[in-house]
Amino acid sequence: MTTPLDKLREYGYELPMPKAPVATYVPVTRVGNIVYVSGQISMGENGVVTGLLGENMNVVQGGNAAELAAINMLSQVVHTAGVDLEKLKKVVKLTVFVASAPDFTEQHLVANGVSNLLVGVLGDKGKHARSAVGVAALPFGAAVEVEGIFEVEE
């Protein structure tokens, strides 16, 4: 049987160890069977993926950056919250923040990088409500940041 981690590997990803917070907050809070993950930026092995959509990044590059943010979010779920992806019941809600030039209006397409990855890895459990929000800037110049709410088994 193919596990979510196997599917993640098919996308070419391994879950990294999460980075420690750089401010006064916790990366994950669990209340009962709901896990809240603080915003995770577009950061991979080569550091933070920076840029401004519509200025020096296109939608495809933004979608790739969004995938990295999604990987970092899943890493927090697994490594910090201690939730096995197979015991994840549902991705409930995502908010995807996209660093955008003033006239850029395709944040929803960039956010598809997160959504498509989660549905590809988790199947129906990965389907979720979502907001895609354009912002002037993100921490460290990141192109994308994503936060999520997950339902897990008790």
Residue at 12 is within a domain: no
Residue at 62 is within a domain: yes
Confidence of residue 84 (pLDDT cuts 50, 70, 90): very high
pTM: 0.96
In the chain, % of residues over pLDDT 90: 95
Domain containing residue 121: CATH number: 3.30.1330.40
**Which amino acid type is present at position 122?**
L
Confidence of residue 20 (pLDDT cuts 50, 70, 90): confident
Domains of the chain: total: 1
Alpha-carbon span 113 to 64, nearest angstrom: 6
Query: pLDDT (tens digit, 9 = 90+) per residue, 118-130?
Result: 999 999 999 999 9
Residue at 5 is within a domain: no
* Token pair for 24: 């006064």
> Residue 91 sits in which domain range?
35-152
Q: Tell me, what's the pLDDT at 1?
A: 83
Residue at 11 is within a domain: no
Residue at 72 is within a domain: yes
**Which amino acid type is present at position 20?**
A
Residue at 116 is within a domain: yes
Residue at 140 is within a domain: yes
Residue at 15 is within a domain: no
Confidence of residue 19 (pLDDT cuts 50, 70, 90): confident
* Cβ-based neighbours of 118, under 8 Å, separated by 6 or more: 70, 91, 94, 126, 128
Torsion angles phi and psi, residue 11, rounded to 5? -80, -10
The two beta strands, 43-44 and 28-31, are: unpaired
